[in-house]
Amino acid sequence: MVISLALWTCVAVGDSFATRDATSPAEEWPAEALAGLSCLALLASRRRPGTVLVVIAVATVITIALGYVVTPLLLAPLMAGLYRLSAGTDDRTTHAYGFTTVAAVVTTVVISDPSDLTVIGPILWLVLPLALGRGARLRSAYLEAVHARAEHAERTRDEEARLRVAEERLRIARDLHDVVAHHLALAKVQAGAAAHFLRARPDETQRILAALIDTTASALRELKSAVGLLREASAPDSAVLEPAPGLERLSALINACESAGITVTLATRGEPRRLSPGVDLTAFRILQEALTNVTKHASTGAAHIELVYSTARLVITVTNDGTTAPLTSDSTQGRGFGLLGMRERALSVGGELQAGPRPEGGFEVAAVLPLPPCLPKKERTP
């Protein structure tokens, strides 16, 4: 409202000027009324900038036709309407309405006073608000885009944090399952064997109980390592975590299984290579879970491990002979977490895993894990 009153005052002052060599209009109220109409129309320029510009342009053209000098004061409402149009609409609408308005004003000026060919001034005064409005619109769009990007980045950061938390929870759950399932299965078998040999073979019982102590101690160490990241920040630095297990512990894993009465054979083909930490841990956990399944579910007490190293991959195969217990078949169908965890581990490092009963009997777990490329050996210089 204040801006409209200020613009009406400008037009009222501009109406006091008449064209050269022409008599002043007898009454000034028509021009003042048209100026008031233009200024009132500006109040709706935010909602309907095109319609408002048409109303102001018609009023301005009539005022010029009455014989008034075209000055910036007279064109003030029209300039404000052009600015609102350019700042609030797209380029196509601005060009259609804006240039039509400029052409109408210039044509009226020429018709009103054909001897006055100075039309550069009105053109410049009317094109200026179009350019300023477009600049304001572009600046507003840029600020909105920056704000939208900031909101998107904040939202994406929160989603990424939640995803990382979910992934970490899944990793800890897999580690806990592998550690607890493996060591408890061995401990159960060892405790049962110790109870069986308690009276008849005390020496064998003592050996099995010693192995049981090692199994529980190993379980405690691996549990500590699995949940180490959940410690409070105030935990003492002296509580050093155990490194993540890898294939270097395969012999200890085989010994633990053999102490529970499972005969494990190992065959390695190809040249063993150093594995990345993720693949090394995945390979160990797959072997651990596969041997745990043999301990708990297989009807035979023997398992065979085969490691095949090639240029780009490591193939791990764990098989057992005999028949497969119903619980293992259920696990294959997805009701257990052991095979699901093995598949997730293999996929997490870019590999794959297949598991199922063998046609000739028994069960087989086969995993294919990627290996880093071999570095060529440097040629010796003479």
Task: Give the 3-state secondary structure of residue 8.
Answer: helix
- Tokens representing 301? 């007490």
270 backbone φψ class: left, alpha, beta (φ>0; ψ -120 to 50): left
Sign of CA dihedral 223, 227, 231, 236: positive
Query: Looking at residue 305, what is its pLDDT?
Result: 93
Query: Looking at residue 337, what is its pLDDT?
Result: 66
Query: Looking at residue 268, what is its pLDDT?
Result: 93
Distance, first Cα to last Cα, the chain: 93
Angle formed at CA 253 by CA 227 and CA 176, multiple of 5 degrees = 20
Query: Looking at residue 367, what is its pLDDT?
Result: 94
Q: pLDDT per position in the chain (382 positions), as tens? A: 545 555 545 555 444 444 444 444 555 667 677 777 777 777 777 788 888 888 888 888 888 887 777 777 778 888 888 888 888 888 888 888 888 888 888 888 888 766 655 667 778 888 888 888 888 888 988 888 888 888 888 777 777 777 777 776 777 677 776 666 666 777 777 677 777 777 777 777 777 777 777 777 777 666 666 666 555 444 444 445 556 778 988 988 888 888 777 889 999 999 888 888 888 988 998 998 888 888 777 667 788 999 999 988 999 999 987 654 433 434 444 445 678 888 888 888 889 999 988 888 888 999 999 987 764 444 433 3
Query: Looking at residue 317, what is its pLDDT?
Result: 94
What is the amino acid identity at position 155? R
366 backbone φψ class: left, alpha, beta (φ>0; ψ -120 to 50): beta
Query: Looking at residue 215, what is its pLDDT?
Result: 72
Query: Looking at residue 266, what is its pLDDT?
Result: 92
Global pTM?
0.47
